[in-house]
Amino acid sequence: MKMKIVADSSANLLSLPDIDFGVVPLHIIVGENDYIDDDKIDLTAMQENLSSYKGKTSTSSPSPHEWENAFGDADVVFCITITSSLSGTYNSAVIAKDIYEHNHTGRKVYVLDSLSTGPEIALFIEKIAELIKAGFAPDDIYKTLLEYKDKTHLYFSLASLNNFAKNGRISPVIAAGIGLLGVRVVGKASDEGTLLPLDKCRGEKRALKKLIDHLKECGYTDGKIIIAHNNNEAGALELKKLIENTFGIFNGTIQKTRALCSYYAEPGSLLIGFEAS
Binding site for ligand X90 (CB under 6 A): 26, 59-61, 82-83, 86-89, 116-118, 154, 156, 169, 189, 193, 195, 261, 264-265, 271
Q: Select 74 or 230, whichever has its Cβ closest to ligand X90.
A: 230
Residue of closest CB approach to ligand X90: 87
Question: What is the spatial order of strands in the sheet that 183-189 belongs to?
Answer: 195-202, 183-189, 152-158, 270-275, 225-229, 252-256
- Least distance from C-beta 80 to ligand X90, angstroms? 14
Q: Select 60 or 245, whichever has its Cβ closest to ligand X90.
A: 60
Q: How far separated are the first and last CA of the chain, in Å rounded?
A: 33
Q: Select 88 or 138, whichever has its Cβ closest to ligand X90.
A: 88
- Least distance from C-beta 147 to ligand X90, angstroms? 20
Q: Select 114 or 220, whichever has its Cβ closest to ligand X90.
A: 114
- Least distance from C-beta 43 to ligand X90, angstroms? 15
**CB neighbour list of residue 271: distance below 8 Å, 6 or more residues apart:** 117, 118, 119, 154, 155, 156, 227, 228, 229, 257, 261, 265
- Least distance from C-beta 218 to ligand X90, angstroms? 16
Q: Select 78 or 156, whichever has its Cβ closest to ligand X90.
A: 156
- Least distance from C-beta 155 to ligand X90, angstroms? 9
